[in-house]
Amino acid sequence: MLTSAALFSLGDFICQKTEVALSPRRQTPDTRQNNSSGANSSLTKSWDAGRTLRQGMIGGLLLSPGLHVFLTRVMSRVAFPTLSYASNIGLRVGIH
């Protein structure tokens, strides 16, 4: 769960930084005046820590335990006896 929460949080952080880096820079009169200081740059104001925390909690507390139960308890019992071993694996991968 901790690994999932950390990876979801890191992924959201990287995504937010990428969104800012790829978006066109919009300058309002306020940002043009304070642009020389660097403290008010769009990169320093772009990260939403609350969003990153929410993503981490979703990954760690909701998705990780649910997927663990699904993959270990449900999918391990799914078998199609009329199909070959390779077909069974292919169907299970498709269901995942």
35-78 confidence digits (pLDDT tens) = 544 544 555 567 899 999 999 999 999 999 998 998 889 888 88
Give the model's pLDDT for residue 52.
95
Q: How many CB atoms lie within 10 A of CB 25?
A: 8
Q: Does residue 2 have a pLDDT over 60?
A: yes
Q: What is the mean pLDDT of the chain?
A: 82
Stated pTM of the model = 0.61
Q: Which tokens is 59 given?
A: 């990954």
CA 22/CA 37 separation, integer angstroms: 22
Q: Would you kindly state where each structural domain of the chain is located, as residue ranges?
A: 2-95
